[in-house]
Chain A
Amino acid sequence: MAKATTEINASSMADIAFLLLIFFLVTTTMDVTTGINRKLPPPPEKNQDIPDIKDRNIMNILISRSDRLLVNGKIGDLGTLKQDVKDFMTPHYPDDPNFPEVKEETIDLIGHVYKSKGIISLKNDRGTSYDMYIQVQDKLAQAFNELRDEFSQKKFHKNYKELDEDRAKAVGKAIPVPVSEAEPENVGDN
């Protein structure tokens, strides 16, 4: 008959596991990286045509090297920037010469919409601080998110973030984020 094997004492297993546990507890970093996602445009092709865009369709935002805002040639304010962008991007129908043009488009799941042809042109100086630049980007993102929320509330009675993928895409098509960053150029000496 086979001899009964002697059992291995497993009482130290907990200690070993504890040791490993403490090691992973110490090395673990639970911080989630958060940030603003952006997509860079592909580099410009040589002798690319400069698209002809009407003045009323462009909102120029310039951040100076002393972190001040210039919106369409007038001194702007970070506090009102979000509302300005929202007003500018809201489609006005019938046509209102003080706001960008609108075009009609048919989008799946939504149907007929009036889409604003407005474009936001963002320009910064080399001396602009990164903090200010992010604040402006944040305000733009807030403005567009609120526009999308309002639109999807009207159409689907839900916030943009709660929509399913197809509907979110449709809303994204109806309200795109036409933020264009100007090709950098040296303004003054720095």
Chain B
Amino acid sequence: MSRFKKKGDKETPGISTASLPDIIFMLLFFFMVTTVMRETELLVKINPTSAKEVQKLEKKSLVSFIYIGEPVQAKLGSNTRIQLNDAFATVDDIPEFIAAERESRDEADRKFLTTSLKVDKDTKMGIVTDVKQKLRKVGAFKINYTVTEAKED
């Protein structure tokens, strides 16, 4: 009598996996585009401080980093050191570093170059001031104190 007769136990058809590669490729391209390879290995301990009024650092390719903190390796002592690229440096190396950073960018982009200071929270301001003075001298005026965003209280 019923018009829609149940057809016994019919096997469920297997799900086609033909589109699986496409989905995976999509994910792959997403990660390929968003990925930023870690460029330098940190030689100094950086425990960032936090603040509320933070801005996002845009255009990562136009940012050069200066790391300031205690060396990771205990045998190097606990004096605050500066790291540029992959090596320890002194304040006097900064003009050369900035010049090299400028050289490696397009001419049109050079004026947008930002220097990001990643400084450990226990660092004394003396060394930071020295770095800032050097940056002023070479005309790298745009700086960014890298801090994490504080949670609302």
Contacts and interface: CB of A to CB of B under 8 A. Distances in A.
B63 interface: yes
A32 B57 contact: yes
Interface string A44-65: 0000000000000000000100
A35 B122 CA distance: 17
Given A35-B55, A137-B51, A17 B133 contact: no
A126 B129 contact: yes
A43 to B, nearest CB: 5
Given A126-B124, A128-B124, A142-B52, A28 B31 contact: yes
B148 A34 contact: yes
A127 B139 CA distance: 26
Interface residues of B, number: 52
Given A17-B21, A27-B37, A134-B147, A36 B51 contact: yes
Interface of chain B: mostly helix, strand, loop or mixed: mixed
Interface stretch (B2-10, B22-30, B92-100): B22-30
A141 B137 CA distance: 25
Contacts of A131: 49, 121-122
B141 A36 contact: no
Interface of B: 17, 20-21, 24-25, 27-28, 31-32, 34-38, 49, 51-57, 60, 63, 114, 116, 119-126, 128-129, 132-133, 135-137, 139-149
Top 6 A-B pairs ranked by shortest CB distance? A126-B126, A138-B51, A24-B31, A141-B53, A131-B121, A17-B24
Given A27-B35, A130-B125, A134-B147, 9 more contacts: A17-B21, A20-B32, A21-B31, A27-B37, A35-B116, A36-B144, A42-B141, A127-B125, A128-B125
Interface of A: 10, 13-14, 17-18, 20-21, 24-25, 27-30, 32-43, 63, 124-131, 133-135, 137-138, 141-142, 145, 184, 190
